Every structure is written in C-alpha cells, then in structure tokens.
Chains A and B, each alone.
Chain A
Amino acid sequence: MEQRRSVPALAWQLISFALFFGIWELAGRWPISLAFPPFSQTLLALFSMVADGSLAKAYLITLQPLVIGIALSSIVGIGFGIAMGLSRCVEWFTLPIMIVLQAAPMAAIIPLLTYVYGIGVTSKVLAVVVLASPVIVMNSYKGIRNANPSLIEMCRAFLGTRQQEIVKIILPHASALIFAGLRLGLAMGFIGIVIAELLITPTGIGDLITYNSSVADYPNMFAAIVSIIIFAALTIHALERLERKLFPPEIRGLEHAG
C-alpha cells in the first residue's frame, strides 16, 4: 500500500520540479532582469563551483559557526526547556521571555551582536544561537509539560520516585517533541548563519553570494543561493525521516486509549 501511494507522489514531485525549472529557464531567457540568469546557466555555474572546490571551501567555513551554534543551542535549549517544564519557579521566570523571543524578529539584534562581540566567529555563532534556541527551548518545555498524567499516576501507584517518574515516564514521553525542536532549531540556524554571513562579514557561502553579486556574476551568485537552499532542505528532510523512524507516532504516546 505504501508503495502504491509513493510512486505517483514521486511522479508529481518530479513534474512539479520540472515545471518550476522550466518557468525559471523561460524567465531567465526572456529575460525579466539582467540579474536573473536562466536555470541552465545557474546549473552550469553550480557544477563548475563544485568542480573547482570553491563551494566546498565556502561550506567548510559556513558550517563551523553553524555547528557550534546548534550544539550550544541544543545543550542550553534542551536543558532550559526541561527545567522550565519540571519547575514552576523556572517556568515563571523564563516563560514570558521565551514567548517574546520566539515571536520577535531576532535578526534585528544581529547588528547589536556585532557591536558587542565584533565581526569574528563569536558573533556568527551567537546569531545562530539567538535564532535557533527559542524553538528548541519551547519544544522541550512543551514535551515535558505534555506528559500523560495517567502514566504519572501509574508510576506513583507502583511506588515510583520523582526521579524515576522523570527518567522513565516524562523524558521518554518528551523525546519526540524535543527532537522535533532540534529539527526546527536547525532550520532557524540556517537562516541565522546566512543572515550573519551577509550582515556581519562576508565569509563562506555569504562571501560567495556577496562577491559574485558585486562583480555581477549572477549565475555564480544564484548557484551559491540555490546550493544553500538545497543543502538546508536536504538536511532538514533527512532529520525529519530520522525522526519518523526513531519516534513513530504510535510509540510516541500521542494516541489515546480506545
């Protein structure tokens, strides 16, 4: 059944991509703007950037603050979220801040980060943290809070301690939402690092975009943009599949008795 459904789905996806690239090609050849290269030229530019290694070099630089930032946000974010979920006191202090942070356009404070921390890696790492951590915190917090009260009661009835209740019921129950938070956090992290590399100092992929734009090499500029979109989309998609494999909905405890 799964296969019968996925084959036409794949066909539709391919048709949708073909249509999109076809329109892009036409729009580029027309052209709607001198700064808008057709799809074929962009693709060629992408191949040549892969071939001469400039793309790989750029990604090596870009990934550094991204990975450090995501690692930091994960540790701090999950820790904070769990503490908020378990302790009324921590919740009382931090929940309003977190709600504001999640709603605020955090990219706006990047100039402030530059002012305080300079134009080095630190500012870029912080840009990633600032964007990625609110959603990680909130998901961890919600995961803890959503623990099934009936399972907690069961644990108490069978003489579980508060510590066992947390380790054996609340955390396993929250793990799926926490993981989803990491995935969303990474998506925000991609936004953060690209903004940082465009706003703070052009390095890595941001440098490829700004440099090629300044010398009017639009196919190369678009190739860099397309590459980061593809890279982010594939990474997030892979995490999503891993998430579905690790936490299938029936094991998550989302379904109810019946």
Chain B
Amino acid sequence: MPADPIIEVKAVSKTYEGSVEALAGIDLALPQGMLSTLLGPSGCGKTTLLKIIAGLIPPSQGEIWVKGQKVDGPGPERAFVFQDFALLPWGSVLRNVAFGLELRGMAKDQREQIARKHIDEVGLKSFESSYPHQLSGGMRQRVGLARALTVDADIILMDEPFSSVDEQTRRKFQEELLDLLKHKKKTVIFVTHSIEEAVYLSDRIVLLSPRPGKVSQIIEPNIDRQDENPDEIRRDKNYLDTVDQIWQILKKYV
C-alpha cells in the first residue's frame, strides 16, 4: 500500500494565453518517500504539471496541497532540478551548489561546508572550484542535483534531468540516483519521456495523455530495488513487462 500522500493535486487545469489547454482536470495523490514519475509524450503537459507543483507556474484552476498546506509559490520543502541545469555561468561548482542556501542568507562558511558534503555525494569532489563551462553535461546535472540536495527539502522535483545527457552517462547517473535515494527519505517527482527510464527508476508511474494533459493510468512496477543489483533490474521480467505494457498504452497517443 502506498504511504500517505505528501502531494495532492486537486482538479488542476492549465490554459495558457492564446487558449492552449495544457492540462485538464488532473487529480493525483503522490505518496511520501517514493519516486513517482510523470510520463508521457511531448505535449502532455508533464513539465507544466511539475512546475505547478513547484509553485513556479500558477494553475488556471484547481489547487496543489503539499504536506497538508495549500501551495501558492515555491517553498522550502520542495527543491527543483532543471532540464537545462540552470547553473550560474559565473559561479564555481561550490557557489552553485551552495546557491540555494546563499539565497536563504546562510553564512558563507556554513553553507559551503554543507555544499561540500553534497558535492562529494554526487561524485564531484575536486571539481569544487571548476566553472560550469569546464564540465560535461552529466557533471553539470550532478551540480544541479547537489544544489537540490543542499537545501534539504523533503521533495525533489526533477524535470527531465537526463534529457540533455548522452545515453551512457544517463545510465550511470540513473543507477547512482537510485543508490543515492536508497539512503535518503526523499520524495521524488520525476518527469521524463523515456519509458525505460521511468520503469527503471520509479515506484509509481503516472501516465499522461496529451492535448490536453490528462491522467491516463497509474502503474506501479513491482520491482524489488532493495536487494537487486542495479544491473539486474534491466533484466528483471517485471521491468521488461512493464516497459511493454506502457508502450502498448502510449502507442495510440504518438
């Protein structure tokens, strides 16, 4: 059984100016401590929904509740990982990772100490004084992830974080993400258009259908991640079946 919902999406619709209907009547309860994925083809409004949950975009109708409170903007319990990394080009890795705490007014020594810990955690030790332009795409996204971890939010919202990273780096990164989350009690909402990525990472997958975005189905891949070696997951029968099952559903929207 899923745990208590930490995020509740109540009848959320979004219509952009020029009457493009991006989302229509989304109802969702996302459980605490799990990795939930919003999956769907382009145009299904998955990023819009994620940004509405983040409080970066106001919904046209409906409400978002996080930990029993109504959302009307970004909050300290939510951290965001951006598709295009959104790093300060003039800031070192250390400054970028500590930026969330810098905005909260934490003293320099203190915030850099915390940032260093998370830089280690994402495998960027010794790159603290490098600048984003000196890093590969994969490393830049590690900086983005470390920045989200640094503010110690319960919920991490990830918007297609691996989409501008090459395939090999992406696989490695996915494995490391699972490993990293195993030891943390974070709730992760992950947006992707890759079925394999969704099944590989998620405890729960929300399938969205496009134009306008609606919840089409919710799938919980029954994969035991605690004991299994990450490489085994990709050969797991449940993994392969779920990938196929989702493809059969999404096929008709493409």
Interface on A for B, CB 8 Å cutoff?
150-151, 153-161, 164, 168-169, 172, 250-253, 255-258
Chosen A-B contacts, 9 in total, with CB atoms closer than 8 Å, are A158-B74, A158-B79, A158-B103, A159-B74, A161-B103, A252-B89, A255-B89, A257-B84, A257-B164
Q: Point out the residue from B54, B79, B90, B103 that lies within 8 Å of A155, measured CB to CB.
A: B103
- By the criterion CB–CB under 8 Å, are A250 and B100 in contact? no
Nearest residue in B to A176 (C-beta to C-beta)?
A: B90
Encode contact with A along B179-218: 1 for CB under 8 Å, 0 otherwise: 0000000000000000000000000000000000000000
Q: CA A258 – CA B56 in complex, angstroms? A: 24
Secondary structure class of chain B's binding surface, majority of residues? loop
Secondary structure class of chain A's binding surface, majority of residues? helix
Chain B hits for A156, CB < 8 A: 56, 74
Q: CA A210 – CA B79 in complex, angstroms? A: 68
Q: Point out the residue from B56, B99, B100, B133 that lies within 8 Å of A255, measured CB to CB.
A: B133
- By the criterion CB–CB under 8 Å, are A157 and B104 in contact? no
- By the criterion CB–CB under 8 Å, are B89 and A253 in contact? yes
Q: Is B80 an interface residue (CB 8 A)?
A: yes
CB B130 to nearest CB in A, in angstroms, measures 12
Interface residues of B in 139-169 (CB under 8 A from A): 140, 147, 151, 164
Chain A hits for B78, CB < 8 A: 157
Q: CA A256 – CA B140 in complex, angstroms? A: 12
Q: CA A153 – CA B144 in complex, angstroms? A: 14
- By the criterion CB–CB under 8 Å, are A164 and B103 in contact? yes
Chain B hits for A258, CB < 8 A: 137, 164
Chain B hits for A159, CB < 8 A: 74-76, 100, 103-104
Nearest 3 pairs of A and B residues by beta carbon = A154-B86, A250-B133, A253-B89
- By the criterion CB–CB under 8 Å, are A153 and B133 in contact? no
